[in-house]
């Protein structure tokens, strides 16, 4: 590490008493600078989005039209809607599976299986988003079209959200691929929350004659519920900001519709599809969309981290 060597060399020439405060000061300045980036990103986006913010104001979020032909009108409603629907769907599918995994890995699996299995589940997070997208287009979408979506329609087809012709690249498919991508996040953080439950909670339940499942449900899950909730919100943060896999699966149609079997668009997918071809005002509107996404993700993550931190700290204290 070249820069470290330079730091060392400079430090060596200094009087003893100066080295420590200088080094501490340098590392503090860098650390504060890194965190300041978060504010800088927000400010730069707000600055670049200014023409659009000034032109459309709050109606930007409610507007359903995106028309780059003069007089230009840009509204974000279909994308916000698509983001919320696909993220909700991802949680609906991903959360039960993630909880099952977390329970299995922390409570039920034999000791020799826990570490390798935890590791393999984590590998799901190592697959790049664009590879999920490629797999989505060529493997998942055909399966959705010919197997899964017809099956869902046969059983739940009376619901308005499952009307229409299954095409395989739609909001439903995007929700499914997002579910796959949030599972490693939610299961890893929930597992940590379960592991932070003190052993005497379990022992108390077991000594009363509870089965393992009853122990898990009454003594472990209940104790860790705030941490699990935080894990779910973290998963939501991941789903909201996810771009490539969704862009490749959602079918890219700019409209609000009830049926999950219709194509749609999320904030991220719309930005990815249009960013490099936009005119000046449209570009500014796309950057405003990015700002909306940034603020959504900040809100979600700050909330989730506060939640998770509180629980893990309590677990440590009680252990």
Partner 1 sequence: MRFPTHVAGLPLRLDREARRLWKDLAMSIAALLCVVIALIPLGSILVEATARGLQAIGPSFFSLDTAFGGIGNAIQGTLILVALSSLISLPVGILTGIYLSEFGKNPLGASIRFFVDVMTQVPSIVVGIFAYSVILELGQAGIVSTRLVFSAISGTLALSVIMIPFVARTAEEAMRLVSTSTREAGLALGIPRYRVILRIVLPSSASALVTGALLGVARVAGETAPLLMTAFGSGFGFSGLDHPVESLPHTIYTFALSPYTAQNQTAWGASLVLVVMMLLISVFSRLLLRSRYRVGGAAP
The answer to whether residues 218 and 201 touch, using CB atoms and an 8 Å cutoff, is: no
Closest CA to 173 of 259, 260, 97, 104: 260
Least separation in angstroms between residue 310's CB and partner 1 is 12
Closest CA to 269 of 72, 63, 83: 83
The answer to whether residues 102 and 190 touch, using CB atoms and an 8 Å cutoff, is: yes
Site for partner 1 contains 290 (CB under 8 A): yes
Site for partner 1 contains 218 (CB under 8 A): no
Least separation in angstroms between residue 204's CB and partner 1 is 18
Q: Rank residues 85 and 141 by Cβ distance to partner 1 and give the closer one.
A: 141
Least separation in angstroms between residue 221's CB and partner 1 is 11
Neighbours of 148 (CB within 10 A): 16
Choosing from 41, 53, 84, 256, the residue that interacts with partner 1 (CB under 8 A) is 41
Choosing from 168, 173, 238, 264, the residue that interacts with partner 1 (CB under 8 A) is 238
Site for partner 1 contains 138 (CB under 8 A): yes
Is the CA virtual torsion 247, 253, 256, 262 positive or negative? negative
77 contacts: CB under 8 Å, gap ≥ 6: 61, 62, 63, 64, 256
> Considering CB under 8 A, how many residues would be counted as binding partner 1?
92
Query: Binding pattern to partner 1, positions 249-278, x when CB under 8 A?
Result: -------------------x--xx--xx--
Choosing from 59, 211, 313, 319, the residue that interacts with partner 1 (CB under 8 A) is 211
Q: How far is CA 298 from the centre of its chain?
A: 11
Beta bridge partners of 73: 67
Site for partner 1 contains 127 (CB under 8 A): yes
- Which positions from 166 through 205 interact with partner 1, judged by CB under 8 A? 180, 183, 187
Site for partner 1 contains 24 (CB under 8 A): yes
């Amino acid at each position: 590490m070249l820069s470290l060597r330079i730091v060392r060399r400079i430090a060596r020439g200094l009087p003893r008493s100066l080295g420590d405060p200088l080094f501490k000061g340098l590392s503090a300045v860098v650390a504060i600078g890194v965190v300041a980036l978060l504010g800088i990103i927000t400010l730069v986006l707000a600055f670049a989005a200014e023409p659009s913010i000034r032109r459309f104001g709050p109606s930007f979020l409610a507007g359903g039209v995106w028309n780059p032909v003069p007089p230009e009108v840009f509204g974000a409603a279909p994308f916000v809607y698509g983001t919320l629907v696909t993220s909700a769907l991802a949680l609906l599918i991903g959360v039960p599976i993630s909880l099952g995994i977390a329970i299995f890995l922390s409570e039920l699996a034999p000791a020799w299986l826990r570490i390798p299995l935890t590791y393999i589940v984590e590998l799901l997070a190592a697959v790049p988003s664009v590879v999920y997208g490629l797999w989505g287009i060529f493997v998942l979408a055909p399966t959705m079209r010919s197997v899964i979506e017809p099956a869902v329609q046969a059983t739940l087809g009376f619901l308005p959200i499952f009307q229409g012709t299954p095409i395989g690249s739609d909001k439903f498919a995007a929700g499914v691929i997002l579910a796959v991508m949030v599972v490693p996040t939610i299961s890893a953080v929930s597992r940590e929350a379960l592991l932070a439950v003190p052993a005497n909670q379990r022992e108390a339940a077991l000594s009363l004659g509870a089965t393992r499942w009853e122990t898990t449900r009454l003594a472990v899950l209940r104790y860790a519920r705030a941490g699990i909730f935080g894990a779910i919100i973290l998963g939501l943060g991941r789903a909201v900001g996810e771009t490539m896999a969704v862009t490749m699966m959602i079918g890219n149609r700019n409209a609000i519709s009830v049926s999950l079997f219709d194509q749609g668009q999320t904030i991220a997918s719309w930005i990815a599809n249009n960013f490099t071809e936009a005119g000046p005002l449209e570009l500014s509107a796309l950057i405003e969309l990015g700002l909306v996404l940034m603020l959504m993700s900040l809100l979600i993550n700050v909330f989730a981290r506060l939640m998770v931190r509180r629980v893990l700290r309590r677990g440590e204290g009680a252990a």
